[in-house]
Amino acid sequence: MNNDSQLKELVKEKYAAIAAQSQAQNATSCCGATSSCCGDDVYNIMADDYTKLAGYNPDADLGLGCGLPTEHAKIKPGDIVIDLGSGAGNDAFIARRITGETGKVVGIDFTEAMINKARANAEKLGLNNVEFRLGDIDDMPVTSNYANVIVSNCVLNLVPNKYKVISEIFRVLKPGGHFSISDIVLEGELPAKWKEVAELYAGCVSGAIQKQVYLEIIEQAGFTNITIQKDKPIIIPDNILANYLSPEEIQTYKNGKVKITSITVYAEKPAKDARNCCEPGSGCC
């Protein structure tokens, strides 16, 4: 399972199924920050607690994130904000609380079921300046130099071509704009067999890349002032490891030097592009 289009279809299928679940089903099948249980679902073990953030809406929280990027995103009233992989709208609604009526929030997701769920949530909240668009985040349905801020929560690791999505973020941000993105990264090599497990890809683990490479891609795209705003370890429970590794392999993994971490990264698009090249995505930059 290493073809980009196959991986995208896998993720779309898995997250469409999650979107179809009720809030109660999601709450009882995860190990997120607001859950009292710990099941065998790899999708929900990384979530942070959103409940104390202004604008939080429980109907939009599926417990699928790995950070709180909106909390760190330096959003201001009147800003145009894009949420990549917006799901049921959790980060979008929190961003809208900050931008106010004079701003705008656009959520982008390539899972139609998630878009429908987010739009229904927005309608219930009566928000007319929050919009959800169906599309790929590595080919955004957004004009260039559009947004002041981009946020994303545990989504970029699901995109096979990290270079392309980071380049798209640069294209869509206004000069002087910035992003705050939470994502899963690695230090050290995962067990080789994990790279062939489709479930672990859709669960954000085997799709992650090395932390240093991740930061280098951001720098190569032209971003400046790259800052890690938060760095937390991800501990995969034994009952989940047992789905993919033998007891001996679990011990080897635990004794090794592999670190799976959630980082929240901030970076700015320069007010003036001094790279002397053409638009990202046109083939010559």
Q: What is the DSSP pairing of strand 80-84 with strand 104-109?
A: parallel
Could you tell me which of 258, 270, 191, 181 has the C-alpha nearest to residue 224?
A: 270
CB 118 within 8 A of CB 132: yes
205: how many CB neighbours lie within 10 A of its CB? Answer: 24
For helices 211-220 and 162-172, the axis angle rounded to 10 degrees is 40
* Three-state DSSP class for residue 268: strand
**How confident is the chain (285 residues) per 10-residue block, as mean pLDDT?**
63 66 48 36 60 74 78 97 94 96 96 93 94 96 98 89 96 98 89 66 68 96 97 85 84 85 95 61 50
pLDDT attached to residue 19: 66
CB 1 within 8 A of CB 206: no
pLDDT attached to residue 218: 98
pLDDT attached to residue 4: 67
pLDDT attached to residue 57: 76
CATH code at 4-268: 3.40.50.150
1: how many CB neighbours lie within 10 A of its CB? Answer: 12
pLDDT attached to residue 142: 97
- Residue ranges of the domains in the chain? 4-268
CA-based angle 251:259:212, to the nearest 5?
A: 150
pLDDT digits (tens, 9 = 90+) for 18-58: 667 655 555 433 333 333 333 445 545 566 677 777 777 77
